[in-house]
Amino acid sequence: MSEPVLIDATADTVGYTFGGRKPIATLTPGVPVRVRTWDCFAGKVRTVDDLPSQVCQFPYLNPVTGPFYVDGARPGDTLAVHLISLTPASPIGFSCTFPHFGALTGTHTTAMLHPALPERVWQYTIDHGASIVRYTARGSAYTVDLPLAPMLGTVGVAPAAAEVRASIVCGAHGGNLDTPLLQAGTTLYLPVSEPGALLALGDGHARQGDGELCGVAVEVPMDVTLAVEIISDVTTAWPRLETDTRIMSIGVARPLEDAYRAAHADLVHLVTDLTGLDELDAYQLLSQAGRAHVGNVVDTDYTIAAAIDKHLLDGAQPYRGAHRRLRALTLERP
Amino acid sequence: MSEPVLIDATADTVGYTFGGRKPIATLTPGVPVRVRTWDCFAGKVRTVDDLPSQVCQFPYLNPVTGPFYVDGARPGDTLAVHLISLTPASPIGFSCTFPHFGALTGTHTTAMLHPALPERVWQYTIDHGASIVRYTARGSAYTVDLPLAPMLGTVGVAPAAAEVRASIVCGAHGGNLDTPLLQAGTTLYLPVSEPGALLALGDGHARQGDGELCGVAVEVPMDVTLAVEIISDVTTAWPRLETDTRIMSIGVARPLEDAYRAAHADLVHLVTDLTGLDELDAYQLLSQAGRAHVGNVVDTDYTIAAAIDKHLLDGAQPYRGAHRRLRALTLERP
Amino acid sequence: MSEPVLIDATADTVGYTFGGRKPIATLTPGVPVRVRTWDCFAGKVRTVDDLPSQVCQFPYLNPVTGPFYVDGARPGDTLAVHLISLTPASPIGFSCTFPHFGALTGTHTTAMLHPALPERVWQYTIDHGASIVRYTARGSAYTVDLPLAPMLGTVGVAPAAAEVRASIVCGAHGGNLDTPLLQAGTTLYLPVSEPGALLALGDGHARQGDGELCGVAVEVPMDVTLAVEIISDVTTAWPRLETDTRIMSIGVARPLEDAYRAAHADLVHLVTDLTGLDELDAYQLLSQAGRAHVGNVVDTDYTIAAAIDKHLLDGAQPYRGAHRRLRALTLERP
Amino acid sequence: MSEPVLIDATADTVGYTFGGRKPIATLTPGVPVRVRTWDCFAGKVRTVDDLPSQVCQFPYLNPVTGPFYVDGARPGDTLAVHLISLTPASPIGFSCTFPHFGALTGTHTTAMLHPALPERVWQYTIDHGASIVRYTARGSAYTVDLPLAPMLGTVGVAPAAAEVRASIVCGAHGGNLDTPLLQAGTTLYLPVSEPGALLALGDGHARQGDGELCGVAVEVPMDVTLAVEIISDVTTAWPRLETDTRIMSIGVARPLEDAYRAAHADLVHLVTDLTGLDELDAYQLLSQAGRAHVGNVVDTDYTIAAAIDKHLLDGAQPYRGAHRRLRALTLERP
């Protein structure tokens, strides 16, 4: 296999919406491609003195590279997006508090009369060899190393109903899901609502805690290698994930219990489809064997992923085995 | 004053989004216009045997007439939309239960394993002379007359951040607010995010209970007479309403307490601006004198309006007196 | 009719829980009684310089007078509590902000990293003759008169399942419902869970805005005249209210939409019982004719009352006409 | 070390509340004790034909053994409860759907008009040697083995403010937390509100999925070996957990995001105390390194645990090293 083509992130190839923009390139199912993404600050935070509320301008936050026209994708299909590799494209990453954004502060909707928490930027150093991300406190001398765990915060397609959504929004179309589960080796399933699906991605994180507590992960530009596949005439209600060992449904909603409910109801239906269990039996199995992963509790809607091990599902192959085929692209690489 | 021009609702003048569509006409500030709107079923429910889930097709629900280009409106301005009169354009209206939609049923996000509640349609007869709407039960012989109280469920402009939202969605741009407060004599203030604002409206209700419990009001086509005004260089964070006696802020969010919070925090700020009270004093005044009106607890986001009597605010004239000027258009009509 | 006996509020007759305490007196159904209640500060706030967090000590907040043993009340019955009159027992009332309490501040559960909002006390003067409550700002010279509208914030009985709840808590047993609907002329229905019901009451408000925004109303000691009746062998799931014109169900829950749901589902059932309408027809009628009243969005659980006019219900007499009989006690007074 | 005394579960030693009951025995800090607990059905479900809604009677659900008077515990202290071992005391366990209980069904508060989902019981066989729990479907032939992972659903003390809470309730006092984290090797910290703390425990689960989706885990009687310690004059706002590697705070609230917020705000404070980091730095560290574990999304309040690895906290020893001392009791056992 030859090295995949690289699509760089430039002013011409990034944007700030899902839908509403013309494709920048075409993807061929089964053929890996490399995509560079900018960090959520569009690269404007370069030191701990660059306060995002000053150097960034709404709505030019959370740029996504794309959209990509996926050859053959039609409304009513499902798009499988497999992340072959994720490599932070910088030796440093940034995080911050941002005024009235995050889980432990009043926000636009959880409106309070408090003034904003102080805005502060943290710089992380990334050591690829040691696979660590170094946290350095700002208010005192304190450093600690955390595991490097690259993920993409934002992967999505054009939404249904002719909608256009800001790239900072999450929904059934994917978007800013902000779940640490979206790592290399994972396949994301999204519903196709427009011809070509119009895939876009960005918001790389060197790592992120569950819930993205303060609203900002360790933000980095990212080198992404991915491949896609189309599952024709199969619809997908909520974003789903698959790894070698697990399948997952992502609920996107507020309040957070609705994200939990949507994810689990969707997974009940998937388990039922895959195993022939009736709904109550699938509900029961998930009650004892299901895992719930909090994605974000900070964005426009919250995300929870419901997960179950595939070995409990009798050799299940959702989406006609798409994950296995896409995963083989990695394994066969030199 | 001559009779305002009529813009009819036709396949060419209605649409299903806010943003993303070309204007169908231009409005001149201060000049009344008549607009016909379709009901939320686009007129496809004609008898109690027309089940909406069968005769309507997603996303072709909740048509809005427009968009209208408001001459002179620029991003950063506020658009004042004054409803001069609302007259149901049909002697009958319809309501229904709709599968997995409403406050007392599992929905897409408040996901449950229950099968949908039965779908049922109710036909209401409207007596303009008596100003009543007659409810007729379906499962037994029972009729009762309710006051006619025409309102518009959906009035909005193009959203910020280049977004396009389905007409069934509500947000800072207005849209499907579904509040019974949006009656004749009321001025709605919305933030302008695109040149010309791109106003659109629809979803007339002959009346509606608080919260729009089952998700569907007494749906009717509507004859709307309205006039607009631009408040230049004044931004508006959340939709606001003004009548001769009250000012109101509408919070749009989930969970419902966040709608309550957003509405009241916005009204605290407005009261502070209008009276010179500091924030705590305004907070206190609203705590004792504020009213909270539940709009809908069924749509993509919920709405609550926070209200206060203007006579408590020392002769306040928000938005440079726009309401009074627009209101005068009605009073001077023959 | 002779003047009712007065039960004063003293250290011996007030307490801070529902359940868990011995009765202080016995009530005879149908015989009016006068009860004095302390304000929520137990009288310790006497000037605007008495900060509640300093002069009051948790959990000695929100004292209730009682409990009263209601002669003949048995578990499984419903207790009807009719408020004949409510008269503030002081020419002044107090409100305040309280650290980490209220709808527009981080709280114990809606936990934020913000420091508390400033604590401030407001003193209101009450003019019984003019029926007004005068608001006086603290940060600037600003006064305004609000209508006097006395209500009780807290009326409840011993909870089910042998629980004991703090008087600041609301639930199916009533308690700190904090709804402006609990005024003179209103009957409150509560489920009897312990022999004698063990009724207690307090937390008088000279008036309150919808939602009790900052968490504290215009707090006053109150002279309450009330009478009770027992509806034997009739259970009540949620607190209900009845006036001469309306019936209401109160949902007590978080998030606020659950309070809305619980209230309306309960009222659907009540309408069904009273009219013979099937559930869907009752759901539809409430969707168009129901009113939702926000009680509090600040206490341990939130409250919403769902209401409908009795004249729409074909002469309905819930609870065997208890309200009408209790109401007659007022009308026959000299 | 001699074998600990066994306190059996009998009609005399179990109860259905936290608070409001006399102690059945006294615990000496540092001295292990064995406690038998009944399953949540009080042993009344013995076959898949025993429907809980028929064989059990509210409020006699979720029995807890105790309360135990902890020698020396005073209000204002913290009680450390260390679980030395948990062994299911039966070769079978039961789960079920229960009418209007669970995350994917309408409930008392998330009230819907749907009839209850069908009630169904599942019997699990437990193989201690293989350390598995066998799931057997009811509607089709399907079995699968899940890892045995014993935990206690309910551990708590007498609540603050003289409250008495049903054993099915969770709160700051612990109670029905239903988190899979409460396993052997874990120390639970709870606030002491009454002399002797009045510890009680029950609701053993052979295993449970995240969120306890249907509301019922694999319910078993349990043999519990535990030891307690008192941390004098140290208060605890929310239940906390400690293992050899992690510390955790449990938020108990609705909506679920409030449980997330309360847990994380509490852990921010703990991290600040343990490391000297300022609040913003601790907030940032948790944003990247924190884990969120969903406990239950079905009980009266929901639970989420926020967790962080102690090795990131510079050798932190919360609660004066109580966990290490209690843990040593296990390690020194023969």
The model's pLDDT over C245-274, given as tens digits with 9 standing for 90+, comes to 999 999 999 999 999 999 999 999 999 999
Burial of D227 (0-12, 13-18, 19+ CB in 10 A): buried
Nearest residue in B to A282, CA atom? B113
Lowest mean pLDDT among B241-245, D56-60, D182-186: D56-60
- Sign, CA dihedral C274-C280-C285-C291, equals positive
The answer to whether C261 contacts D111, with C-beta atoms less than 8 Å apart, is yes
- The distance of D127 to chain A (nearest Cα, Å) reads 16
- The distance of C102 to chain A (nearest Cα, Å) reads 10
Q: What is the pLDDT of residues A29-70, one digit of tens each?
A: 999 999 999 999 999 999 999 999 999 998 899 999 999 999
Q: Is C290 on the interface with B (CB under 8 A)?
A: yes
- The distance of C273 to chain B (nearest Cα, Å) reads 13
Residues of A in contact with D218 (CB under 8 A): 288
Stated pTM of the model: 0.98
Q: Is B285 on the interface with A (CB under 8 A)?
A: no
In this predicted structure, what is the pLDDT of residue D314?
87
**Could you please report the per-residue DSSP string of D16-77?**
SEESSS--SEEE-TT--EEEEE--TTTT---STT--HHHH--TT--S-EEEEEEETT--TT-
> Number of CB pairs < 8 Å for B and D?
31
Last residue of a domain, one of A187, A210, A231: A231
pLDDT at A333 over 80: no
Q: Is A113 on the interface with C (CB under 8 A)?
A: yes
Q: Is A42 on the interface with B (CB under 8 A)?
A: no
The answer to whether D111 contacts C161, with C-beta atoms less than 8 Å apart, is no
On the CB side of C1, CA atoms within 13 Å amount to: 14
Closest CA to B218 of B308, B107, B90, B108: B90
Q: Is A199 on the interface with B (CB under 8 A)?
A: no
In this predicted structure, what is the pLDDT of residue A314?
87
pLDDT tier for residue C77 given thresholds of 50, 70 and 90: very high
Q: Are residues B177 and B215 in the same domain?
A: yes
Residues of A in contact with D278 (CB under 8 A): 137, 139-140
Chains near B (3 or more Cβ pairs under 8 Å)? A, C, D
Closest CA to B287 of D179, C283, A113: A113
Q: Which ranges of chain D would DSSP assign to H, the alpha helix?
A: 52-55, 256-275, 279-289, 322-331
pLDDT at C148 over 70: yes
CA B300 to chain centre: 14
Q: Are residues A109 and A38 in the same domain?
A: yes
* C-alpha span between A40 and A222 (Å, rounded): 11
Hey, what amino acid is at D268?
V
Residues of B in contact with D106 (CB under 8 A): 104, 106, 112, 114
Q: Are residues C204 and C308 in the same domain?
A: no
Residues in contact with B254: Cβ distance below 8 Å, sequence separation at least 6, in sequence order:
A253, A254, A255, A258, B301, B302, C257
Could you tell me if residue D68 is inside a domain? yes
Residues of D in contact with B105 (CB under 8 A): 112-114
Q: Are residues D150 and D247 in the same domain?
A: no
**Could you please report the per-residue DSSP string of D259-278?**
HHHHHHHHHHHHHHHHH---
Q: How many residues does chain A have?
A: 334
Burial of C90 (0-12, 13-18, 19+ CB in 10 A): middle
pLDDT at D2 over 80: no
pLDDT at C235 over 60: yes
Q: Are residues C219 and C274 in the same domain?
A: no
Could you tell me if residue A101 is inside a domain? yes
The shortest CB-CB distance from A255 to any of D213, D257, D292 is to D257
In this predicted structure, what is the pLDDT of residue A315?
80
pLDDT tier for residue D330 given thresholds of 50, 70 and 90: confident
Nearest residue in A to C104, CA atom? A112
* C-alpha span between A310 and A269 (Å, rounded): 15
Could you tell me if residue D57 is inside a domain? yes
Nearest residue in C to A255, CA atom? C255
In this predicted structure, what is the pLDDT of residue B315?
80
| CATH number of the domain encompassing residue B287 | 3.10.28.20
Q: Are residues D138 and D192 in the same domain?
A: yes
What was the ipTM of the complex prediction?
A: 0.97
- The distance of B50 to chain D (nearest Cα, Å) reads 23
Q: Are residues C179 and C114 in the same domain?
A: yes
In this predicted structure, what is the pLDDT of residue A47?
98
Could you tell me if residue A38 is inside a domain? yes
Q: What is the pLDDT of residues C28-54, one digit of tens each?
A: 999 999 999 999 999 999 999 999 999
The shortest CB-CB distance from B163 to any of A109, A164, A268 is to A164
In this predicted structure, what is the pLDDT of residue C333?
59
Neighbours of B141 (CB within 10 A): 7
Percentage of chain C exceeding pLDDT 70: 98
Measured between alpha carbons, how far apart are the two ends of chain D, in Å?
A: 8
In this predicted structure, what is the pLDDT of residue B5?
80
Q: Are residues C150 and C251 in the same domain?
A: no
Q: Are residues C21 and C118 in the same domain?
A: yes
pLDDT tier for residue A288 given thresholds of 50, 70 and 90: very high
In this predicted structure, what is the pLDDT of residue C4?
85
In this predicted structure, what is the pLDDT of residue B333?
59
Q: How many residues does chain C have?
A: 334
Using an 8 Å Cβ cutoff, are A88 and A220 in contact?
Answer: yes
* C-alpha span between C62 and D109 (Å, rounded): 25
Closest CA to A191 of A82, A77, A21, A326: A77
- For residues B237, B239, B243 and B248, what is the CA-based torsion angle, rounded to 10 degrees? -70
The answer to whether C210 contacts B292, with C-beta atoms less than 8 Å apart, is yes
- In chain B, what are the helix, strand and coil shares in percent, each to the nearest 5? 15, 35, 50
Q: Are residues A201 and A291 in the same domain?
A: no
The shortest CB-CB distance from A104 to any of C105, C111, C117 is to C111
- The distance of A41 to chain C (nearest Cα, Å) reads 24
Q: Are residues C158 and C245 in the same domain?
A: no
Q: Is A297 on the interface with D (CB under 8 A)?
A: yes
Could you tell me if residue A1 is inside a domain? no
The answer to whether A253 contacts B109, with C-beta atoms less than 8 Å apart, is yes
In this predicted structure, what is the pLDDT of residue D315?
80
Residues of C in contact with A115 (CB under 8 A): 114
pLDDT tier for residue D240 given thresholds of 50, 70 and 90: very high
In this predicted structure, what is the pLDDT of residue C315?
80
- The distance of A112 to chain C (nearest Cα, Å) reads 4
Categorise residue A94: left if φ over 0, alpha if ψ from -120 to 50, beta otherwise. beta
Neighbours of B244 (CB within 10 A): 11
What residues make up the domain containing D102? Answer: 6-231
Chains near C (3 or more Cβ pairs under 8 Å)? A, B, D
The CA–CA distances, whole Å, from B119 to B122, C210, C262, D262, D281 equal 10, 34, 22, 41, 54
Using an 8 Å Cβ cutoff, are A16 and A56 in contact?
Answer: no
Could you tell me if residue C1 is inside a domain? no
pLDDT at C86 over 70: yes
CA C3 to chain centre: 24
The answer to whether A284 contacts D140, with C-beta atoms less than 8 Å apart, is no
Last residue of a domain, one of A196, A231, A266: A231
Tokens of C91: 């020419």
* C-alpha span between C193 and C237 (Å, rounded): 11
The total number of structural domains that make up chain A: 2
Query: Scanning the structure block, which residue is given the tokens 């076959």?
Result: D47
What are the residue ranges in chain B where pLDDT is below 70? 1-2, 331-334
Interface of A with D in 72-111 (CB under 8 A): 95, 97, 103-104
Last residue of a domain, one of B202, B231, B260: B231
Could you tell me if residue B299 is inside a domain? yes
| CATH number of the domain encompassing residue B10 | 2.60.120.580
Residues in contact with C133: Cβ distance below 8 Å, sequence separation at least 6, in sequence order:
B288, C93, C124, C125, C126, C127, C145, C146, C147, C148, C206, C207, C218
Q: Which residues pair with C69 in a beta bridge?
A: C26, C197
The answer to whether A113 contacts C117, with C-beta atoms less than 8 Å apart, is yes
The CA–CA distances, whole Å, from C128 to A2, B285, C99, C149, D148 equal 89, 20, 32, 10, 69
pLDDT at C1 over 80: no
Q: Are residues D158 and D296 in the same domain?
A: no
The shortest CB-CB distance from C262 to any of D109, D258, D259 is to D109
Could you tell me if residue B268 is inside a domain? yes
- The distance of C49 to chain B (nearest Cα, Å) reads 16
In this predicted structure, what is the pLDDT of residue D5?
80
Using an 8 Å Cβ cutoff, are A19 and A231 in contact?
Answer: no
Q: What is the pLDDT of residues A126-180, one digit of tens each?
A: 999 999 999 999 999 999 999 999 999 999 999 999 999 999 999 999 999 999 9
* C-alpha span between D164 and C163 (Å, rounded): 5
The CA–CA distances, whole Å, from B216 to B208, D220, D332 equal 8, 47, 67
In this predicted structure, what is the pLDDT of residue A2?
64
Mutate to test the interface with A, among C98, C101, C104 (most CBs of A within 10 A): C104
Residues in contact with C233: Cβ distance below 8 Å, sequence separation at least 6, in sequence order:
C76, C77
